[in-house]
Each structure stands twice: as C-alpha cells, then as structure tokens.
Amino acid sequence: MDRIAPTHRPVGPNAGTQQWRELLFLHWWVPVDALRPLVPARLELDLWEGRALVGLVPFRMENVHPAWLPRVLDQDFLETNLRTYVHKDGESPGVYFFSLEASSWLAVQAARIGWGLPYHHAAMGVTQAGDERGYTSVRRSAPSARLDVRCRVGAPLGASVPGSLEHFLLERYYLYVERDGVLSRGQVHHAPYPAFAAEVLQCEEGLVAAAGLPAPGGLPDLVHASPGVDVEVFALRKV
C-alpha cells in the first residue's frame, strides 16, 4: 500500500487552514472482531501486522479558518478524537472517527452540518506544569464519555520513518465519512509531525466504551506526543 502519496499536497485551493498544537496520541490494541462491525462496510481495517488499534488524540485547535470566512472569525478550541485506521480497496490509508469532542459549540454544529462528522460538545481543559501535561474532557450530553489523562513528554523522536509503527499511527492524511449511505473522503496536508516520546502517568477514559468498543483494561499500549503542525484542509469528495 502506498503510504507516501497521501502526504503530497492536493492540487488546487484548500477549504481552510488550522493549527494543531500540543497533541497527545494514545493507542490501544483492540480485537478485530469487536472493531469491524463499527466501521462502514465499504472500508477495510488498516491493520499493523494483523492487529487493530484505536487512538484517542487530545489537542488544541488554533486559528481554525474556513476559506470563505474573514480571519477575524477564526476560532480556537480544544478537541479530542477517537479513531481507528482504515483504507479503501487497498489504497488511500486514512482514519475513521467514532467521535470527536470539541469545547466550541459553534465548531460542533459547523462540523456536523458541513462535514457529517460525529462531533460532540464537551467541557475540556489542558494544564501544563514543567514537562507534565494534563487533558480533561467531559461530553455535555453524556458525562460518562470522558477523558482525564496526565502525561510526561519525553525525548524528541524526529519525523517518523516510512514503514515504522510511528509513521503508521501519526502520518494520516485522509479521513473517511459515511453520511446517508454515501461514503466520502477528505484530505489534509501538513509537514510530518515532529514526534516525541511520552509517558502516561494517569489515564481514565470512557470514550472508547461510549463508541461501542470494549473498554481498555489499563493504560494505553502506545503513547506519542507532538508540539503540532500547520494544516491545510481540503473538501470532502464522494468515494
């Protein structure tokens, strides 16, 4: 499967720009049989050595700017997404989102209406003390769908090497959405993530179970962090 072609910028104007900052990537191995029924049938699970993963990614969204709006209306908010990895007929590896939490009610409505993405309004926070960082999120409509994680950011790993597990997890440029039976694909473009090692000191979450998956039995199996990237977002297109 070609995992380099998606990193190239699409031709033409973007639909908007964003800055993603202070990202934490938490991953658990999950049973393929539990994951498969929750992903649209037209998509294949993208497995790492035959094993499936789900990821929780809390971060800051800054200067979120749809191309058709003036800059004065740019938004900053917090987000946490729950995702897994998919492809379409052996091509175009990307992500499929089970849920996305956002601290901005307006951003939630715009993403639900404009993109068909399963956003939820949440009370969210980020704290920083030295090399330790904490993220909290509580879905307003379902308080059990929550995240409370504290981590320590470690040494820089640099850009991920193609073929590595880090590249498989972090360098994802396509997203898939199914709405009213129609499968669409969007694309983002950014420089490779500057990746850092990270250690989770505490993690309590209910987002995985809220998506219908078995609740993880402990701390994440894989953890990475990144200070962030500047992003171009391109419109959804029917697959």
* pLDDT for the residue 131: 84
Q: What is the pLDDT of residues 51-95, one digit of tens each?
A: 999 999 999 999 999 887 777 678 999 999 999 999 999 999 999
- Long-range contact set of residues 154-161: C-beta below 8 Å, sequence gap at least 24: 154/196, 154/197, 154/198, 154/199, 154/225, 155/196, 155/197, 156/194, 156/195, 156/196, 156/197, 157/195, 157/196, 157/197, 157/224, 158/194, 158/195, 159/192, 159/193, 159/194, 159/195, 160/192, 160/193, 160/195
What is the β-pairing status of strands 182-189 and 222-238? antiparallel
* pLDDT for the residue 194: 96
Q: What is the pLDDT of residues 95-107, one digit of tens each?
A: 999 999 999 999 9
**Phi-psi bin for 92: left (phi > 0), alpha (psi -120 to 50), beta?**
left
Q: What is the pLDDT of residues 189-229, one digit of tens each?
A: 999 999 999 999 999 999 999 999 999 988 999 999 999 99
Domains detected in the chain: 5-238 (2.40.400.10)
